[in-house]
Structure 1
Amino acid sequence: MGIGYARVSLEDHQDLTPQLETLRAAGCEKIFEEERSGANADHPVLAKAIASLKEGDVLVVWKLDRLSRSLRDLLFTLEVINTAGAGFLSLTNAIDTTTSIGRLTMQIVEAFAEFEREMIRERTKHGLENARRAGVVVGRKPKLKPARKAEIVRMIEDGGETSSTAASLFDVSKTTVKRVLQAYRAEQQNKAA
């Protein structure tokens, strides 16, 4: 059974009619309609449409961008559809996973997406390594400068103050104070060894 899904964005004042007519002409027996921005990750009507799929059904959309705005989300959604034993058909983009050529096309798209993710990982790793070699501190700026860390250690170790007091005084979390103390104690142990 053909299950249609049509979506328009409310902000752009789009009309569902062309999509609905195309889906009906394609033989969809049931059509789910949603008025929601594609940028919004939450699409409850799409989730209902996918949940309604039974083995042998085909989820039909007018165009791929009605289903997802990113390749990653598209592949995830197609995997969920495939797991349900259903197929997928995009009328405008001529992608039909109920055919062998359609499945091949999606496998090629998945391979390119995996390749792209791996390239991004490699570039990120290479960029971080270069930045570290150049002396750039990667990550968030430390909340506390060394002098303030030393003051926290003195307050707690020598002055008998609590972690809560130090955290409140220096406007940091108790977890930050705990990390400062752990680093200090580890350094002391290394010096003693």
Structure 2
Amino acid sequence: MLEGNISVGYAREGTVGPSLSFQIATLKAAGAVKVYEERASGATEIREQWRACIEDLKSGDTLMVSDMSRLGRSAVDLADIVASLAGKGVRFRALAEPWLDTGSPCGQLILEIFESIGRYERNRMSERTRAGLNAARARGRLGGRPPAMTQNKLETARDLRLKKMTLGEIASTLGVSISTVARALGGGPP
């Protein structure tokens, strides 16, 4: 655990972008007391050093990256990360982008713009998803999983129930769960 209001660096070497050694040197020259180093693609979900870095940061600390591309995978991702840091009281600085320093009025303005862009992107994504679902419905396609209990299986289940088979035996025969049979038959005997 790190002590006091300190500057912490995060360096990530991916398939493209600056080398890890360059990033570390840049972060240390800017005053980073500790640098978390990672070799991972930006698309990689599991970034252990990133998690450790976030856990160690406390209110009043500053997180620095050499370039904003080292942190986020997209503008939305970066906006979410920086907003999360701000919520913890952590200042953020991207050294290659001096305007992206949330400790300055300009950086705070940029953060608000990024957050707005993030909200806009999430809303647009939601609109596109709804439009796609509506277009699929108009073509007669329904979303979701196909029903386990088809009309033929339902008729068979009713016939088997009349023959005094248990719900478990019917489910096993039809290749569905007991709860599916119970739901289809109204929860009890016919």
Q: TM-score, normalising length from structure 1? A: 0.79
Two-structure CA RMSD over aligned residues (Å)? 2.7
| 1:38 counterpart = 2:42 | yes
How many residues are paired up? 183
| 1:89 counterpart = 2:96 | no
Q: Match of 2:73?
A: 69
Q: Look up the equivalent residue of 2:158 and give its one-letter code.
A: V
> Identity rate of aligned residues, in percent?
33
Q: Match of 2:106?
A: 101
* CA distance in structure 1 between the partners assigned to 2:186 and 2:132 by the alignment: 30
| 1:163 counterpart = 2:156 | no
Q: Match of 2:142?
A: 137
CA contact (8 A) 1:62 1:92 kept: yes
* CA distance in structure 2 between the partners assigned to 1:112 and 1:76 by the alignment: 10
- How far residue 16 of structure 1 moved from its aligned partner, in angstroms, is 1.5
Q: Match of 1:23?
A: 27
CA contact (8 A) 1:6 1:20 kept: yes
Cα displacement string for residues 93-148 of structure 1 (whole angstroms, at most 9, x for unaligned residues)? 44111111111112111112211221222232233234324432232233343111
Q: TM-score, normalising length from structure 2? A: 0.81
* CA distance in structure 1 between the partners assigned to 2:64 and 2:70 by the alignment: 10
- The runs of 5 or more residues in structure 2 that have no matched partner are 1-5
Q: Match of 2:62?
A: 58
- The runs of 5 or more residues in structure 1 that have no matched partner are 189-193
Alignment of 1:177-188 (within 5 A): 177-182=181-186
Structure 1 residue runs of 4+, over 6 Å off?
Answer: none
